[in-house]
Amino acid sequence: MIFGLLVAAAASVYIDPEKLKRTLTKKAGTAIFGSVVFGALTPFCACGTMAIVVAMMATVLPWGPIMAFLTSSPIMGPDEFIIFAGIINFRFAVALTIASIGIGIFSGYITHIIDKKTKFLKNQIRLVDTKSETSCCGESNVKTCSSDGCNSTNIEYSKRDSKLNKLLTKYKIIELLKVLYNLGVKRVIPFFALFAAVGYMISQFVPAEIITRYLGTGNHFAVPILALIGLPLYAGSASAAPLVNTLIEAGVSQGALLSFMITGSGTSIAVIAGLLTIMKKNAILLYLAFLIGFGILSGYLFDLYLFIF
């Protein structure tokens, strides 16, 4: 978990989303693929993706790349992969990564076709204030400071002339520590402890036969059940890893848990409320359809893979 948090913090501090965004072209195929890669390799939660989406809309990118990034980004990032691989298992982490890439490419190209062939997505962007780039996760994922010294760390340490302080400023060490605190201490670790406690309570007080009867691989409805349970909940972050691990040990279908992570990562009430500020009804319905449909499909395919291999 600590290593995963370090990766997430380093990516947030040292990778500029604006520069990555500018590498996307307006050619649909290239932009969709670039958006998926961008989304899969950056540690943005579902809420945090909204600032990037606003920036994408400001560049008049077509709906295909926007939907590709919006669906792929919250499902998996480098920090989640490390934590899931270490706490749950490597196959689950790989499956969630493949699902993240798959849903991004699929939703991107389908959205591109819908955008070109129909009027379903016409006028579906709300007027938003692109200067406000904070997310419902607390911190902005987009660096808006210019090179003239608006960064508070630079201002604070410019008054001192020691080599150590220059080193800390040059390599953004103070900023990195702040992100680690905001990400780890304030967000991931508390929820990690909460989900670990819930998992412990389930393992101690819920009979295993009840879990396997309703949510095990023998129940063909386990995948859609957990996919629907994940809809209103924000349970797609790395902090949910101990709960998922406990449920797997209790006999819950890994495919069902995969679908739960997909829907839980991008369809919570807070996320939809945030999306309502930048998108209209048709765009949000399409977004939900992609996550729910692909989440259920991915769950069944992963269970089938585990059954065969």
Mind listing the pLDDT tens digit for each residue in 209-268? 777 777 887 888 999 999 988 887 766 667 788 888 888 988 899 999 999 999 888 787
Domain extent at residue 24 = 2-125+171-308
- Give pLDDT, residue 201: 81
**The two structure tokens encoding residue 147:** 């090179």
- Measure the CA–CA gap between 253 and 225, rounded to whole angstroms: 11
| 143 contact partners, CB below 8 Å, separation of at least 6 | 16, 17, 18
Neighbouring CB atoms inside 10 A of 60's CB total: 8
Say if 139 falls within a structural domain: no
The per-residue pLDDT for 137 is 47
Dist. CA 299–CA 255, nearest whole Å: 4
With a cut of 70, say whether residue 188 has pLDDT above it: no
Segment 113-116 long-range contacts (CB within 8 Å, at least 24 positions apart): 114/63, 114/286, 115/62, 115/63, 115/64
The answer to whether residue 160 is domain-embedded is no
Is residue 153 domain-resident?
Answer: no
Q: Please list, in sequence order, all residues whose beta carbon lies within 8 angstroms of the beta carbon of residue 37, skipping any fewer than 6 positions away.
A: none
| One-character DSSP codes across 124-140 | -BPP--TT----TTSS-
Angle (CA) 213 249 183, round 5°: 120
Is position 159 within any domain?
no
pTM here is 0.72
Distances in whole angstroms, Cα of residue 17 to Cα of each of 11, 55, 68: 10, 10, 16
pLDDT for 95 beyond 90: yes
Residue 18 has a pLDDT of 60
Q: Helix, strand or coil for residue 238?
A: helix
Query: What percentage of the chain carries pLDDT values higher than 90?
Result: 22
pLDDT > 90? residue 208: no
Please state the domain count of the chain.
1
Maximum separation of any 2 CA atoms in the chain, in Å = 67
Helix (H, G, I), strand (E, B) or coil at 279: strand
For 214, residues 6+ apart whose C-beta sits below 8 A from its C-beta are 222, 225
* 79 CB-near residues (< 8 Å, 6+ apart): 4, 5, 7, 8, 11, 43, 238
Q: Among candidates 148, 99, 125, which has minimal Cα distance to 260?
A: 99
Give backbone dihedrals phi and psi of 230, rounded to 5 degrees, phi first: -75, -15
Q: Which residue has 């409320």 as its token pair?
A: 273
CA dist 281 and 121 (Å) reads: 9
